[in-house]
């Protein structure tokens, strides 16, 4: 009897784990920003992104706390805390960028306050600035982002501090080797909900580069 119970318990745990593995990719199967790949080298790509609209919240704190706080603020907006009381469909990725600037003459040098972060949700392409409902919370700002070119490195697993630093260093080395000038601080992009198993996650570090580069 006890052995039968144990096997049932193992089966339930297996189903739960399988569900967790599948649920992350399924719920992440949402609209993503449109881009054209210009060049590829292993897990690094140069991409041209089309113009987009983002909902942005600027928050302070360490990176992990900041993205959680920013996520909650913008999620509140897309779930109906807006002038039309309408839900806005979720997209991927959620992005996070430090507000510091990078010196144009020193590609690896970062300057500024690393405790201030911009967290962004990309709005569905079916909306315009005129048709998007306006946020009730002044902490949420809708912005139009023009077409841009990015150097992007993709990786799976948990996007912890060490992992982000290591991937950023790898991307910087790629840009330095190709004489690509960074035009922005690293932009971290996360495509999956937090319960997605690490090996199924998609994370990226993105750095804007001149449109003529690549």
Instruction: Name which of 187, 64, 57, 71 is nearest 115 in CA terms.
Output: 64
Structural domain total, the chain: 1
With beta carbons less than 8 A apart as the criterion, state whether 122 and 109 touch. no
Is 214 part of any domain? no
Cite the beta strand spans of 42-175 per DSSP E: 44-49, 52-60, 94-98, 101-102, 110-111, 116-122, 141-145, 148-155
Is 89 part of any domain? yes
pLDDT digits (tens, 9 = 90+) for 28-82: 567 888 999 999 999 999 999 999 999 999 888 888 888 889 889 998 999 999 9
40: its two tokens: 């590829």
170: its two tokens: 């790898």
What pLDDT sits at residue 97?
A: 86
Q: Which residues of the chain have pLDDT under 50?
A: 12-27, 100-113
The pTM for the full model equals 0.79
- Where in the sequence is the domain holding 186, given as residue range(s)? 2-209
**What's the CATH number where 64 sits?**
3.20.80.10
What pLDDT sits at residue 196?
A: 80
What pLDDT sits at residue 98?
A: 78
What pLDDT sits at residue 22?
A: 44
What pLDDT sits at residue 26?
A: 45
Residue with tokens 């569905």: 124
């Amino acid at each position: 009897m006890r052995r039968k119970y144990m096997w049932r318990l193992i089966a339930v745990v297996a189903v739960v784990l399988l569900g967790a593995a599948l649920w992350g990719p399924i719920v992440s199967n949402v609209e993503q920003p449109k881009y054209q790949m210009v060049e590829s080298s292993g897990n690094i790509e140069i991409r041209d992104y089309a113009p987009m609209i983002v909902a942005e919240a600027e928050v302070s704190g360490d990176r992990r706390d900041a993205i959680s706080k920013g996520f909650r603020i913008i999620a509140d907006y897309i779930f109906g805390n807006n002038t039309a009381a309408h839900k806005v469909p979720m997209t991927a990725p959620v992005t996070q960028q430090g507000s510091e600037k990078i010196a144009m003459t020193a590609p690896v040098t970062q300057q500024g306050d690393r405790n201030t972060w911009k967290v962004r949700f990309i709005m569905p392409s079916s909306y315009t600035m005129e048709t998007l409902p306006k946020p009730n919370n002044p902490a949420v700002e809708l912005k139009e982002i023009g077409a841009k070119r990015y150097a992007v490195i993709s990786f799976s697993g948990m996007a912890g501090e060490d992992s982000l630093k290591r991937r950023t260093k790898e991307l910087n080395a790629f840009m330095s080797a190709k004489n690509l000038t960074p035009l922005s601080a690293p932009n971290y992009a996360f495509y999956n909900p937090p319960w997605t198993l690490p090996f199924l996650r998609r994370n990226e570090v993105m750095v804007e580069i001149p449109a003529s580069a690549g």
